[in-house]
Amino acid sequence: MPKVDVLIIGAGVTGAGIARDLSMRGASVMLLDRGDFCSGASGSNHGMLHSGARYAVKDPESAKECASEANILRKIAPAFIEDTGGLFVSLPEDDFGFAEKFKRGCNNAGVDTREVDVAEAREMEPSLSSDMVRAFWVDDGSIDPFGLTLGNIEDARSMGAKVRNYCEVVGIDVDDYTIDAVRFKDQRTGTVESVTPGVVLNAAGAWSPGIAAMVGQKLPLRIDKGTLVVLNGRLCKMLVNRLRPPADGDIVVPSHSSTIIGTTSNGVSSADGNIPTESEVTFLLRETAKVIPGIANARAVRAYCGVRPLIPAGGGGRSASRNFRIIDHASTGVYNLVSVIGGKLTTYRLMAEKISDLACEKINNRNRCRTAKETISEMPTIDPVPGIHDLALLRMAKKNGSEYQNVLEQCVSLPRGKEEVCTCERVLRGEIQYHLRKGDVRNASDLVKRTRVGMGYCQGGFCTLGIISAAMGVYKTAPIEYIESFLNERNKGISSILVGEQLRQEMFKAHLLRSVYGIREESR
Ligand SMILES: Cc1cc2nc3c(=O)[nH]c(=O)nc-3n(C[C@H](O)[C@H](O)[C@H](O)COP(=O)(O)OP(=O)(O)OC[C@H]3O[C@@H](n4cnc5c(N)ncnc54)[C@H](O)[C@@H]3O)c2cc1C
């Protein structure tokens, strides 16, 4: 049976960050995910780089962590961060006194903020409502969660980490209070393999209680569903927050070519099977339009939801802590199992550092964490390339980070590699084929995470044939199942926004796919 120093379960941003941290310390590492990378909360969040301001009043510890980690991420992962800056704004209906608490909270937590007068705020962000009564500038930004997670994974791999998606942990054997084998099923082949780990790190997010239960351990967790809506186009330049105690429908994030509004917070009994509802979408559109009136006329192209793995202490929903906790199961009977729960995308690096410190103690590795200083991915240098639009190059660089030059090389050298397959997101055929060849991609939904193909306003209406054609260039057969799973996945997020203009667009898309291309969408 193969042996590794550390086995990490769950390749969301936390697991990916741990794999990179431990690989940098010289440990032998295996990272497994039952689905694709980023298939949990790390692929379904708001993508907000928290300055800490949102938690400054109620959760000062989280605010401090966010403030310091956001600054670290700007240095170590500039390719995946957009420094939009942020504004917290209040409306006449909001509690006027909250602004003073906010100022004090930010001051105490070391969160950089400055009050700006309403006219200046409108100059900074012209999309804001003229009803706004007070505004504060903060150092919020937006993160590409896919790029950040995959960037950590690639870096870990370059240092020898074994990283496999579609490998589900199905059993854990314990002998004499110590895990001596972890069994996992490769979903591609159906075979069950085993590995002997020195330490097992449970980074399975909302699914981590299930992993702990495999060895009879209890893990307290609040599974909290949050819904988000993607709007066509960038409706604002800056990240906009409502200046009031954190509530639903507070945040508007400009992200790539779209705007993401959200979110909600509801306890759910299971991490699986959650979908955005029509009433959540209607609520989010109405609430965020109070701050940015243009939202009322915008086209919602998609909705999605994710599940937060929250520490139950501090009450439910919005009052639950956004802090994280490392749980050493040695004290409850399993010496070499450690779980991590809670936290945020913004604080993943710190979570990874803390759990890796404990893992290193257990395997007697004395090397120290270096992730706060060493870059995951610089923003690549972009030179003009004949036949490729500058914007396509810029987007390719921001999605691929340190892999940019390799991806570009494929676009330039492959036949028709420079062809734009997805015109909404400006994704090139060569880029798609690069990721198909890497071997991690199992279906077109996996391609979406790596390239953003089909993520734009047509949601696959026009690029479907291009994806099939690009896939045929690699596989030589018509990979129709690639497309069916992709369309079904996209459709899950579309059923709750089928009104007005979007309904017309979807009818048009259905006609194109069914009547013109002859492709069936089963979930429709
Ligand atoms: C709606 C929403 C909005 C959010 N917005 C923000 C934000 O704007 N900014 C921010 O900083 N944070 C935000 N967060 C929080 C952030 O997304 C999460 O804290 C973070 O992504 C958690 O990452 P993770 O790796 O711990 O968990 P996950 O990303 O959920 O990863 C867990 C992984 O474990 C895998 N797994 C499960 N069971 C098994 C098994 N048996 N074998 C192998 N693998 C398994 C899953 O497939 C999954 O990929 C948001 C969260 C939600 C839900």
pLDDT 10s digits, 414-434: 999 999 999 989 999 999 999
Quote the CA–CA distance of 254 and 239 in Å, as a whole number.
6
Tokens of 103: 């100022």
pTM of the model: 0.94
For residue 137, how many other CB atoms are within 10 A of its CB? 21
CB atoms within 10 A of CB 159: 15
pLDDT at 341: 96
Would you say the CB of residue 226 lies under 6 angstroms from ligand 1?
yes
DSSP H or E stretch at residue 338: strand 337-342
pLDDT by residue (tens digit) across 2-53?
999 999 999 999 999 999 999 999 999 999 999 999 999 999 999 999 999 9
Q: Please tell me the total number of residues recorded for the chain in this structure.
A: 524
In 365-520, DSSP assigns E strands to 420-422, 427-428
| Cβ–ligand 1 contact at 376 (below 6 Å) | no
Task: Please tell me the distance from the alpha carbon of residue 309 to that of residue 205, in angstroms, as a whole number.
Answer: 5
Cβ atoms within 10 Å, residue 363: 17
| Helical residues (DSSP H) of 345-463, grouped into ranges | 348-363, 390-400, 404-413, 429-438, 444-451
- Which residue is listed with tokens 């992962």? 77
**Which residues, in sequence order, are bridge partners of residue 447?**
none
Residue 279 sits at φ, ψ, to 5 deg, of: -70, -35
Which H or E run contains 51?
Answer: none
> Rounded to the nearest whole angstrom, what is the distance from the C-alpha of residue 43 to the centroid of ligand 1?
7
Q: How many helices (H) and strands (E) does the chain have?
A: 15, 22
What does the pLDDT read at residue 524? 40
Which of helix, strand or coil describes residue 516? Answer: helix
CA of 41 to the centre of ligand 1 (A): 3
Token pair 């903060």 in the structure block, residue: 138
Q: 429: closest CA among 374, 381, 399, 388?
A: 388
Instruction: Decide: 110 and 89 in contact? Cβ < 8 Å.
Output: no
Residue 41, ligand 1, Cβ within 6 A: yes
Q: Is 152 exposed, middle or buried (0-12, 13-18, 19+ CB in 10 A)?
A: buried
Looking from the CA of residue 66, the nearest atom of ligand 1 is: 11
Q: CA–CA distance from 96 to each of 58, 133, 224, 250, 507 (Å)?
A: 17, 9, 29, 16, 45
Distances (CA, A) of 475 to 49, 206, 467, 468, 472: 38, 35, 12, 10, 5
Give the list of residues 6+ apart from residue 476 with CB closer than 8 angstroms, or none. Answer: none
pLDDT value for 68: 97
Quote the CA–CA distance of 134 and 118 in Å, as a whole number.
Answer: 6
- Measure 346 CA to ligand 1 centroid, in angstroms: 12
Backbone angles phi, psi at 231, to 5 degrees: -105, 150
Q: How far is the CA of 190 from the centre of ligand 1 (A)?
A: 25
Nearest to 359 by CA among 115, 179, 481: 179
**Quick one: DSSP state of residue 513?**
I
Kindly give the number of the ligand 1 atom that is closest to the alpha carbon of 211.
Answer: 41
Output the DSSP codes for 47-94: -EE--SGGGTTT-HHHHHHHHHHHHHHHHH-GGGEE---EEEEE-TTS
Ligand 1, atom 52: closest residue by C-alpha: 45
Which atom of ligand 1 is closest in space to residue 38's alpha carbon?
49
CA separation for the pair 300, 497 (Å, rounded): 6
Strand (E) positions, 256-336?
A: 258-262, 266-267, 300-310, 324-328
Extract the tokens encoding 336.
């070499």
Q: Determine the distance separating the centroid of ligand 1 and the alpha carbon of 329, expressed in angstroms.
A: 21
Rg (C-alpha) for the chain, rounded Å, is 23
Query: Using the 8-state DSSP alphabet, how is residue 511 labeled?
Result: H
Low-confidence ranges of the chain (pLDDT < 70): 313-321, 476-482, 517, 519-524
What is the four-CA torsion angle of 482, 487, 493, 498, rounded to 10 degrees? 180
Atom of ligand 1 nearest to the CA of 307: 53
| Rounded distance from Cα 40 to ligand 1 centre (Å) | 5
Structure tokens at 228: 């988000």
**Rounded CA separation 371/359 (Å):** 16
The residue whose CB lies within 8 Å of the most ligand 1 atoms, and thus the one to mutate among 8, 18, 34, is 34
In three-state secondary structure terms, 71 is helix
Say yes or no: CB of residue 46 within 6 Å of ligand 1: yes
* C-alpha distances out from residue 201 to 54, 234, 333, 337, 418, Å: 30, 39, 15, 6, 42
Helix (H, G, I), strand (E, B) or coil at 372: coil
Taking the CA atoms of 146, 152, 153 and 154 in sequence, report the sign of the dihedral they define. positive
Cβ neighbours of 479 (radius 10 Å): 18
Task: Verify whether ligand 1 is closer than 6 Å to residue 345 (CB atom).
Answer: yes
